[in-house]
Amino acid sequence: MTDLSALADDISSCTRCPLHRGRIHAVPGDGQSGATIMLVGEAPGREEDRQGRPFVGKAGRILDEALHAAALKREELYITNVVKCRPPGNRNPRQEEVEACLPYLESQINLIRPRILCTLGRVATEEIFPRYGLQPVPLARIHGTAYEVRDTPGVIVPVYHPAATIYNPALAEVFMADIKKIARLSEDLR
């Protein structure tokens, strides 16, 4: 791919897996092409499918609050998902759906070249970690930890998915603290 716009067009017309049949919009991702920080979630939800943008529903509002508290501007980041179309009923993506979308995510990472790749939740962590030679372990043990990797990105930081704070309010402070760690790490890399 030559640029994010062409890649977004490819994603929007993708038919690599059955998820395209039920979507309103594919959700390629959005943000700055040269972003220092790239956030990767699991898959779009209902509101994301309606709007064609990542993290615009309830979990997105939680993410926006955490970004604001950490003095990070959403428009200066790049935000996307492992899977670009909404799985029915917001179920976890199936492995064949993940495999169909991974070339898109890899292209996004190569085009953006973030210094920090933040995996939001278990699914993103389990899919991304092995591709960089890292062993995914439960988020309860590794959230907020910066893992250095060779090349791009330089650092991978797993955190809880913002939706986890809806189901477990005790994670709200943990999530907020982890996003603040990412902001500090970003400052250190400048």
Look at residue 89 and give its three-state secondary structure. helix
Rounded to an integer, the average pLDDT of 41-68 is 97
Distance from C-alpha of 103 to C-alpha of 124, rounded to nearest angstrom:
14
Q: pLDDT, tens digit, for every residue of 78-112?
A: 999 999 999 999 899 999 999 999 999 999 999 99
Distance from C-alpha of 37 to C-alpha of 77, rounded to nearest angstrom:
5
Count CB atoms within 10 A of the CB of residue 91: 9
Q: What is the pLDDT of residue 63?
A: 98
pTM exceeding the 0.85 threshold for the entire prediction: yes
Q: Is 81 left (phi over 0), alpha (psi -120 to 50) or beta?
A: beta
